A and B are shown apart, each in its own frame.
Chain A
Amino acid sequence: KNQVEQSPQSLIILEGKNCTLQCNYTVSPFSNLRWYKQDTGRGPVSLTIMTFSENTKSNGRYTATLDADTKQSSLHITASQLSDSASYICVVSPFGNEKLTFGTGTRLTIIP
């Protein structure tokens, strides 16, 4: 069964600190892995999209890594800001006619 697990479920850090969110998946074979940021009450916004052949991709202060051998991905946030407070969702898209598989997300809270 295709699964995507994220950890931690929630995280609280001080403004200006760095943090790393984890995503482990069992989807195979997969086409791409995406990280989304979702603010409360709003739709998700894409941060990165990585294919199975990519190891790292950055979007400003967000850097995603992918290890297709161990089926793990991480999202690293540098110099956190209050606006980074949100849920971060990992999504794996398999090849062919298979449904997308979502992680349950990590709720990140940045405190001043």
Chain B
Amino acid sequence: KAGVTQTPRYLIKTRGQQVTLSCSPISGHRSVSWYQQTPGQGLQFLFEYFSETQRNKGNFPGRFSGRQFSNSRSEMNVSTLELGDSALYLCASSLALLDSHTEAFFGQGTRLTVV
């Protein structure tokens, strides 16, 4: 059974640019959630999508957005990149919403560096 696939694995962007990250969940999983991980702040929740609808959102500015397609694949977009956006971006997939007791499976992450 294939795991959660995130692309690309590594990305270098310049300040002011925008970036799109992709996440393919485990087959049959309908929930995809996104996280930012930095050495200083640890893991922080960005948002969760279920059946193409955003169900939950963390405390991030509007420059961070996402969407989910009918096949449950999800994309995350960050516009007007700042140096502080450099981080490991992780996505996780699960059968149901995260406030249930369903297990969440994480991808390997996309390492974004903003220069």
Contacts and interface: CB of A to CB of B under 8 A. Distances in A.
Given A36-B106, A91-B43, 4 more contacts: A31-B101, A89-B43, A96-B99, A99-B45
B42 A51 contact: no
A102 B105 contact: no
Nearest to B33: A100
B43 A46 contact: no
B101 A51 contact: yes
Contact of B99 (A44, A94, A102, A104): A94
Contacts, number: 57
Nearest to B108: A43
Contact of A104 (B42, B59, B107): B42
A103 to B, nearest CB: 7
Given A31-B101, A51-B101, A103 B42 contact: yes
Contacts of B42: 89, 102-105
Interface residues of A, number: 26
Contacts of A97: 55-56
Interface residues of B, number: 24
B99 A31 contact: yes
B49 to A, nearest CB: 14
Contacts of A100: 33, 45, 58, 98
Interface string B71-115: 000000000000000000010100000111101111111000000
B21 interface: no
A102 B44 contact: yes
A44 B3 CA distance: 13
Nearest to A87: B42
B63 interface: no
B36 to A, nearest CB: 11
Contacts of B108: 42-43
A102 B101 contact: no
Contacts of A43: 4, 90, 92, 106-109
A48 B38 CA distance: 24
